Amino acid sequence: MSADLNVQDAEPSSSEYSTAWVAYALQATGVFGFVLGPLAGLIVSYARRDAEGAGFVASHHRWLIATFWWTLLGYLVCLGVIFAGAWPIISEVIREAIRAGGHVREFSLGIAWESIFATVGAAMLGGLGMLAVWIWNLYRIVRGGLRLANRSPAP
C-alpha cells in the first residue's frame, strides 16, 4: 500500500502536468457548447490515466473521465425527460399526418390541454435539469483545475 501511495505522491514530469492542463482545457470547451473538445479531452485522459511517472496527475485524468461520463448521462436523462413529456404531442402530430395522408387541407390537430401542460412541464423540468448538470460540470472542471494548480491530486 505504501508503494501505491509513493507513486501517487510522485512529482509528475512537466509534460504530464501540461497534458493534464490540455485535458482540462478541452473538457472546459464543453461548458460553451462544443462537443469535440470534451471528446478529445476524454481521449487524452484515457491515454494518460495510467502513464508511467504521472504521479498525482493520473488522479486528474480519472476525475475528468468520470466528469465526462456523468455529465453525458445527466444530459441524456434530461433530454429523455423532455422527449417523454413531448411524446403526447409528437404522437398526435404523427397520427394526424398519417390520417391526412399528406393532404395539408385535411390536417387538423386536436391537442388536449393536458398534453400541452405535460409538454411544457417536462420541458421546464428537463431544462432545469440540464442547467443543474451544466453547473455541476463547470464545478468539477474548476475544482479539479484548482487542485491541479495547487499540485494536489484530484478528490
The answer for residues whose C-beta is within 8 angstroms of residue 105's C-beta and 6 or more apart is none
In this predicted structure, what is the pLDDT of residue 85?
A: 87
Q: pTM of the predicted model, to two decimals?
A: 0.81
pLDDT in tens, 18-54: 999 999 999 999 999 899 999 999 999 999 998 888 8
State the residue range of the domain holding 84: 2-149
154 assigned to some structural domain: no
48 assigned to some structural domain: yes
Quick one: cell of 48? 494518460
Number of domains forming the structure of the chain? 1
155 assigned to some structural domain: no
H helices of the chain, where?
2-9, 14-28, 36-48, 57-100, 113-149
Mean pLDDT of the chain: 87
pLDDT in tens, 122-135: 899 999 999 999 99
Task: State how far the Cα of 31 lies from the Cα of 34, in Å rounded to an integer.
Answer: 7
| 3-state SS, residue 61 | helix
